[in-house]
Structure 1
Amino acid sequence: MKTNFANLLDFALHVCRTYNICDNTLDDAQLEKHCPLDNGRYDCTPPSTSFATKLNQLDRLPLELLIEVLLQLDIPSLTRFRRLNRRTMMLVNSVHQYTAIIEHCPNIIRAIVSVRADAFDCATLYRTLCTSRCFTCNRFGDHLYLIDCRRVCYFCFTHRPEYFPLTSREASRFFNPNAQAQSKSKSSRKLLELANPPSILSLPGRYCGALTVRGGKLQPRRLQLYDRQAVVQSLSGCGLSQSEKTIEEPKRFMAIISAPVLLNSGRHIDQGFFCLGCRDELDKNTKHFRIKYTIEDMPEHIARYGRIVESSIPGRFMHGTKDQ
Structure 2
Amino acid sequence: MSSDRVFSEELIDKLTCTLELNLGGMIRNLPLPQTSPIHRHATNSSLGRIDTLPPELLLFILNLLDFQSLSRLSRASFRAKAIVEALPAYQELLEHAPDVLVALGRTRILRYHSAALLRQTLRTNRCESCFDFGAFLFLPTCERVCFQCLHENHALRVTTLNLAKKCFHLTNSHLKKIPVLHSIPGTYSVMFHVSRRKVYRLVSVKQVKQLAIEVHGSAENVARLLPPTPPQGMSRRDFWIFKWFHMAPLDPPACDLSRKPGRSNLVEDDFGGMASIRMPSLSGTSADRGRICKGCHLIDRLHSQGSLPTAVLENLVPQGIGPSRPLLALMNRLYSREGFLEHIKTCYGVDRLLAGWGK
TM-score for the superposition, normalised by structure 1: 0.78
Match of 1:45 in 2: 40
Q: What is the 5 A alignment of 1:11-160? A: 11-21=12-22, 23-27=24-28, 30-32=29-31, 36-39=32-35, 41-46=36-41, 48-49=42-43, 51-52=44-45, 55-117=47-109, 118-160=111-153
Whether contact under 8 Å (1:174, 1:231) holds in the other structure is no
| Larger helix share, 1 or 2 | 2
Match of 2:178 in 1: 197
Whether contact under 8 Å (1:119, 1:199) holds in the other structure is no
Select which of 279, 282, 285 maps to 1:262.
282
Whether contact under 8 Å (1:108, 1:257) holds in the other structure is yes
Shift in alpha-carbon separation, 1:256–1:305, aligned structure 2, 3 A: same
Shift in alpha-carbon separation, 1:191–1:310, aligned structure 2, 3 A: closer
Q: Does residue 221 of structure 2 align to residue 221 of structure 1?
A: no
Match of 1:321 in 2: none
**Alpha-carbon deviation of 1:102?**
0.5
Structure 2, unmatched stretches of 5+, are 224-245, 249-264, 301-323
Q: Does residue 191 of structure 2 align to residue 171 of structure 1?
A: no
Q: Cα deviations across residues 13-33 of structure 1 (Å, max 9, x unaligned)?
A: 212211455623211xx421x
**Alpha-carbon deviation of 1:277?**
0.6
Distance in 2 of aligned mates of 1:4 and 1:277: 15
Aligned-residue RMSD, C-alpha? 3.0
Match of 2:231 in 1: none
1:218 match: secondary structure: strand
2:151 match: secondary structure: helix
Q: Counterpart amino acid of 2:277?
A: I
Match of 1:233 in 2: 210
**Alpha-carbon deviation of 1:153?**
0.3
Q: Counterpart amino acid of 2:174?
A: L
Which 4+ stretches in 1 moved above 6 angstroms? Answer: 312-315
Distance in 2 of aligned mates of 1:104 and 1:313: 37
Distance in 2 of aligned mates of 1:25 and 1:255: 8
Match of 1:289 in 2: 331
Shift in alpha-carbon separation, 1:44–1:172, aligned structure 2, 3 A: farther
The percentage of aligned residue pairs carrying the same residue is 24
**Alpha-carbon deviation of 1:212?**
4.8
Q: Cα deviations across residues 143-192 of structure 1 (Å, max 9, x unaligned)?
A: 0001010100001112211111121111222342xxxxxxxxxx822233
1:244 match: secondary structure: coil
Distance in 1 of aligned mates of 2:7 and 2:39: 48
Shift in alpha-carbon separation, 1:281–1:141, aligned structure 2, 3 A: farther
Q: Counterpart amino acid of 1:268?
A: S
Shift in alpha-carbon separation, 1:14–1:63, aligned structure 2, 3 A: same
Q: Does residue 187 of structure 2 align to residue 206 of structure 1?
A: yes
Q: Does residue 344 of structure 2 align to residue 308 of structure 1?
A: no
TM-score for the superposition, normalised by structure 2: 0.71
Distance in 2 of aligned mates of 1:250 and 1:163: 13
**Alpha-carbon deviation of 1:258?**
0.1
Q: Cα deviations across residues 90-135 of structure 1 (Å, max 9, x unaligned)?
A: 1210101220111111101111111111332111111111111111
Distance in 2 of aligned mates of 1:112 and 1:80: 16
**Alpha-carbon deviation of 1:86?**
2.7
Whether contact under 8 Å (2:90, 2:115) holds in the other structure is yes
Q: Cα deviations across residues 56-75 of structure 1 (Å, max 9, x unaligned)?
A: 11211233322211111122
Whether contact under 8 Å (2:299, 2:348) holds in the other structure is no
Match of 1:183 in 2: none
Whether contact under 8 Å (1:202, 1:223) holds in the other structure is yes
Distance in 2 of aligned mates of 1:7 and 1:55: 51
Distance in 1 of aligned mates of 2:77 and 2:181: 27
Whether contact under 8 Å (2:297, 2:349) holds in the other structure is no
